[in-house]
Amino acid sequence: MLKLSVSAVHLCQHCPRLLAYSLDGNGKAWRVGHKGSGNLPGRRFHYIARKVHQDISGRGDQGKRDKLIEAFSNSLNQRNSAVLETIKMEYFYPYLLEHGIKIGPDNAVALGLAMKVWSQYLCSLVAPHLEVGVSTEIIIGMVFQDASPTMESDFKITDGTIVTIRGSTDGILFDLEGKHPVIVEYKGKKASNPTQELIQTALYAQMYHKNTGLFPGVHILYLEEQQPLDQYSVDQIKTIIKGIPLLLERARDVAVGKRPVLKTLDNNLCERCFFHGQCEEKFG
């Protein structure tokens, strides 16, 4: 049975040859495929976001959870600033104190702005329900599900081969309005081909469905964009996941050593790739 990570499948979406390089042990392939175009240090943002999500969902520090719930309990006018202040004081500033020396000024600013966009997003999820007088703790308990759960699922591709896919999404929330779970992914700037990111997230949605029986919607929050939130309904995701078997088949072909390996159609990616001028001879 073949095992692949969601990240490997996503790398294959960028360029099947990059996946082939990475499976050959060449780690530089990841730096080409997953390099963002903005200033946000994604790994650092994800670390802080995961901590907040763990605490507020009751799987981490109870004292910090209480402070976050108190901040969310503020009136509509003050809630955004109170939540942002709590995230800054309890998570962001302590993180900067510990790691700031390794973060460039542009990246630190982008990280701070991302905290603001993100805290506004979190407030928007709970606002309509808090305004009708339900206790903050109950609303928070319902909205904030698992932080970065690792999921694993088996997929059967067209020739009957089973491919096991494993990966961790950025978080699972519950949309009280639509009454369904939501898979959340945090990104910096929108990629030149956002469909790739959507299919990656839809893969998580499909894995969640296989594990729980529930179909989730998808939120992709672009933390460096003016219009940060892209939302996809359950019905849209059901349509998008129909493209997953083809994607897995392509990744499987690379993983089992089938040659030649297709190249990306994205010329911009090739221009900034370490393997420019070499991959044709190796995989073409």
- Angle in degrees, CA 100, 102, 105, rounded to 5: 65
Q: Which is nearer to ligand SF4, 170 or 197 (CB)?
A: 197
> What residues are paired with 2 via a beta bridge?
163
Q: Give whichever of 204 and 275 is closer to ligand SF4, judged by the CB atom.
A: 275
Q: Per CB under 6 A, which region of 99-107, 158-166, 182-190, 261-269 contacts ligand SF4?
A: 261-269
Q: Which two tokens stand for residue 161?
A: 């081969």
Torsion of CA 179, 198, 20, 6, to 10 degrees: -10
Q: Is 271 helix (H, G, I), strand (E, B) or coil?
A: helix
Q: Binding segment for ligand SF4 among 53-61, 153-161, 207-215, 273-281 (CB under 6 A)?
A: 273-281
Pick 46 or 282: Cβ nearer ligand SF4: 282
SS3 content of the chain, % helix, strand, coil (to 5): 55, 15, 30
Size of the site for ligand SF4 (CB under 6 A): 11
Nearest to residue 191, comparing CAs of 220, 219, 167, 218?
A: 220
Kindly state whether residue 242 participates in binding ligand SF4, applying the rule CB under 6 A.
Answer: no
**Residue nearer to ligand SF4 on the CB measure, 15 or 84:** 15
Specify the stretch interacting with ligand SF4 by CB under 6 A; choose among 11-19, 76-84, 104-112, 234-242: 11-19
Return the SS3 of 189.
coil
Query: How far apart are the C-alpha atoms of 207 and 108, rounded to whole Å?
Result: 34
Q: How far is the CB of 91 from ligand SF4 (least distance, A)?
A: 36
Using rule CB under 6 A, residue 50 touches ligand SF4: no
Least CB distance to ligand SF4 at residue 155 (A): 24
**Type of residue at 161:** T
Question: In this structure, what token pair is assigned to residue 190?
Answer: 């929108």
Contact (Cβ atoms closer than 8 angstroms) between residue 115 and residue 88: yes
The residues in 180-239 that bind ligand SF4, with binding defined as CB under 6 A, are: none
In Å, how far from its chain's centre is CA 93? 23
279 interacts with ligand SF4 by CB under 6 A: yes
- E strands of 205-271, at which residues? 217-222, 229-232
Say whether residue 9 binds ligand SF4 (CB under 6 A): no
- Residue 38 beta carbon to ligand SF4: minimum distance, rounded to whole angstroms: 20
User: What distance in Å separates the CA atoms of residue 230 and residue 225, rounded to the nearest whole number?
Assistant: 11
> Measured from the CB of residue 100, what is the shortest distance to ligand SF4 in angstroms?
34
| Residue 10 binding ligand SF4, by CB under 6 A | no
* Shortest Å distance, C-beta 39 to ligand SF4: 23
Determine, following the binding rule CB under 6 A, whether residue 252 of this chain makes contact with ligand SF4. no
Pick out residues in 16-45 that bind ligand SF4 (CB under 6 A).
17-18
Query: Does 273 help bind ligand SF4 (rule: CB under 6 A)?
Result: yes
Question: In degrees rounded to 5, what are phi and psi of residue 264?
Answer: -70, 155
Helices (H), 24-104: 28-33, 42-56, 62-72, 76-87, 93-99
Q: Which residues contribute to the site for ligand SF4 (CB under 6 A)?
A: 15, 17-18, 263-264, 269-270, 273, 275-276, 279
